[in-house]
Amino acid sequence: MTSILYRGGVVHSPADPFAEAILVDDGVVAWLGANDTADGLAARADRVVELDGALVTPGFVDAHVHILETGLAAGAVDLSGSAGVRSLADALAALADGARRLDAADPGGDECLLAFGWDEQAWPERRPFTRAELDEVAGGRPVYAGRVDGHSAVVSSSLAGAAGIDRLPGWAPDGVLTAEAHHDVRDVSRRMSPERRERTYRTALAEWARRGIVSVHEMSAPHIDTRDGLAGIMAATADPASGLPHVVAYRGELCETAEDAAELIAELPFLTGIAGDLTVDGSIGSRTAALRTPYTDLAAGPDGSAWRGNLYLSAEEIAAHLTAVTATGRQAGFHVIGDRAMDEVLLGFTVAAQVDGTARLRSGRHRIEHALFVDAQALSSLLLHGVSLSMQPAFDARWGGTTGMYAGRLGPVRAATLQPFADLVGAGIPLAFGSDTPVTPVDPWAGVRAATAHEDPDQRMSARAAFRAHTRGGWRLAGLDHTGAGELRVGAPAHLAVWRAGELTVQTGSERLSRLSSWSQEARAGQPLLPALDDDAPAPECLHTMRDGVVLHDTLLS
């Protein structure tokens, strides 16, 4: 393995906040320090990289991803606002164009047209397209058009017929599919050759590397990908020499007994946890998140009663899963969005603790995904049971606050309480940040910025804490922080990224000091620098990404 010396920049390292250079040798950080010392080390390095003032940081970890879905979305019809789709008419036009292009590439074929990212709340019509409208623009071709949150979709009649979903919960003859109907039709839409599946994986993983991400937590589940698909991902990425990011594997399959869990682990021995997208409920955008009180923008549910969303698992099932997975020494975990879903999960933890004992349950380092609602009672229960949270700050930036989509679904008072970042950090809850891609884009700096810009000033995290949650936090939740991953210090694995950024800053309490005024130890208080995260600050550009000493992405010149 080659050694690389980076010099002439700014190295983000609590071990040496004033480091300007770093040496990587045999996959680990061998040295970091000042430029004048680095000059004497240049002769022993296989490659010397002149940083020209660039910033070197620990590589990011995306702690909640869907690799297959992300890769498919990259080649699908983009129905998001960022693609210029700002109305129902725009969406139908984009779908019609996608169908024409697929017809030209696959004349007479039955390949499913995939589309992602529509959000009717952002359109003036305030409604999604219907199945009849989709059939008309697609000319009868199978079409799956997923909502931005990934928990509902509109599908063409031909795809619905192929999936045989008209008797399943969540079926809507002329509209949006949710729940079991959505899961089944999504499975049918994802059928593809092994060669296409592998290309799709690699497309997604390469994009993470280009974004300065060195590790991802894959949230696999039967309604998202196959067991064989997960095994293929792990085989393809196990060796850093693959040139792909590191992958932490989770599989969301419900276990009733320890034997169930052991059987799954025997087939997939690389699993860190039987966790992730084991869904207790759905999403707020699709009105499938399980709430204590009804949605404010829907008069009634399918049965005429006030609609409070879908609860897919009971406390008894949750407790049994926790006990089963704890017995194997793996992590358990769940997808939890609504407050009623959080209540059910924490009741399941209480029951499991009565069976196994609190200390044994805590030893599992179990985790919850998303966790938008965390009130004081939930917070105390999470602490008691040693639960970690994997959160997506971009949810708050895109849909949060008192005027966003969450406020439209829940009312502004309830929406204002979501994602209480500062409360969680202050209480000592272990946090890791991710994107839930393709639900929100792969953009780790945007995630850090979102956690610092909560509408409630009392719930804003410092940039330093948010950055750690998106780097070291991911290794911690996966039980790998003992290796030193997530920090740049001598002896730690060389997982790093190099950035071209604008102003670099350090936070000392409420004060922010610029790079120009912060070179003295007194001014910087011994804290490493980060890019400025103001709305008008330029986004950092990733120049170089390294995993275990292997370069995954490189635009730097030696």
What pLDDT, in 10s, does the model give residues 377-421? 999 999 999 999 999 999 999 999 999 999 999 999 999 999 999
Nearest-angstrom CA–CA distance, 82 and 80: 5
pLDDT tens digit sequence for 67-83: 999 999 998 999 999 89
DSSP string, 70-107: HHHHHTSEE-SGGGT--SHHHHHHHHHHHHHHHHHHST
SS3 label, residue 136? helix
| pLDDT surpassing 90 at residue 502 | no
Alpha-carbon dihedral 354, 359, 364, 369, rounded to 10 degrees: 70
- 465 and 501 in contact (C-beta within 8 Å)? no
- The pairing of beta strand 77-78 with beta strand 113-118: parallel
* Residues 541/212/400/452 CA torsion (nearest 10 deg): -70
User: Is residue 254 scored above 50 in pLDDT?
Assistant: yes
Q: Is pLDDT at 514 greater than 60 in this prediction?
A: no
pLDDT digits (tens, 9 = 90+) for 137-186: 998 899 999 999 888 999 999 998 888 888 889 998 887 899 889 988 88
Q: Count CB-CB contacts under 10 A for residue 89.
A: 13
pLDDT at residue 106 in the model: 80
Looking at residue 526, what is its pLDDT?
65
Nearest to 373 by CA among 396, 349, 352, 354: 396
Domain 69-189 listed as CATH 1.10.3470.10: no
The pLDDT value recorded for residue 140 is 86
- How would you classify the pairing of strands 541-547 and 496-500? antiparallel
Residue pair 337/282 in contact by the 8 Å Cβ criterion: yes
How far is it, in rounded angstroms, from Cα 151 to Cα 248?
Answer: 23
pLDDT for 166 equals 83
Question: Please, are residues 386 and 365 in contact by the beta-carbon 8 Å criterion?
Answer: yes
pLDDT for the residue 519: 38
Please state the φ and ψ torsions of residue 363, each to the nearest 5 degrees: -65, -20
CA 363 – CA 39 distance, rounded (Å): 47
Residue 303 three-state SS: coil
Q: Residues 460-484: pLDDT tens digits?
A: 999 999 999 999 999 999 999 999 9
pLDDT reading at 426 higher than 60: yes
Intervals of CATH 2.30.40.10 along the chain: 4-59+486-554
Give the range with max mean pLDDT: 68-77, 130-139, 309-318.
Answer: 309-318
Q: Do residues 531 and 540 touch, judged by C-beta distance below 8 A?
A: yes
Task: Match 């359109």 to its residue by tokens.
Answer: 123
- The predicted-structure confidence for 323-353, as pLDDT tens digits, reads as follows 999 999 999 999 999 999 999 999 999 999 9
Tell me the average pLDDT of the chain: 92
* Spatial CB neighbours of 269, under 8 Å, sequence gap ≥ 6: none
Give every CB contact of residue 252 below 8 A, 6+ residues apart in sequence: 219, 220, 221, 222, 224, 274, 275, 276, 277, 278, 279, 335
Percent of the chain whose pLDDT exceeds 90: 80
Question: What pLDDT was estimated at residue 507?
Answer: 58
Q: How far apart are CA 13 and CA 530, in angstroms?
A: 10
- Residue 237: CB atoms within 10 A of its CB come to 23
Q: The pTM is what?
A: 0.92
Residues 266-297 have pLDDT tens digits of 999 999 999 999 999 999 999 999 999 999 99
Count CA atoms closer than 13 A to 151's CA, side-chain side: 23
Provide the pLDDT for residue 508.
Answer: 47
| Predicted pLDDT of residue 363 | 96
Residue 513 clears pLDDT 60, i.e. is over it: no
**pLDDT given for residue 334 in this prediction:** 98
- DSSP annotation of 374 reads -
Average pLDDT on 195-214 reads 96
CATH 3.10.310.70 in the chain is located at 69-189
Which tops the pLDDT comparison, 547 or 506? 547
Taking 90 as the threshold, does the pLDDT of residue 503 lie above it?
no
φ, ψ for residue 182, nearest 5 deg: -65, -45
Which of 212 and 521 is assigned the larger pLDDT? 212
Across residues 239-263, what is the average pLDDT?
98
494 near 29, Cβ under 8 Å? yes
For 4-59+486-554, CATH number out of 3.10.310.70, 2.30.40.10, 2.160.10.10, 1.20.120.1080 equals 2.30.40.10
**Spatial separation of the C-alpha atoms in residues 251 and 123, rounded to whole Å:** 35
Whether the pLDDT of residue 364 is over 70: the answer is yes
Q: What percent of the chain is predicted at pLDDT more than 70? A: 96
Helix (H, G, I), strand (E, B) or coil at 251: strand
Q: What pLDDT, on the 0 to 100 scale, is given for residue 558?
A: 56
Residue 542 has pLDDT above 80, yes or no: yes
Residue type, 350: T
Rounded mean pLDDT of 519-533?
66
Tokens of 75: 């080649």
Q: What percent of the residues of the chain are helix, what percent strand, and what percent coil, each to the nearest 5? A: 40, 20, 40
Question: Distance between CA 144 and CA 548 in Å, rounded?
Answer: 39
Q: How far is 444 from 392, CA to CA, in rounded Å?
A: 10
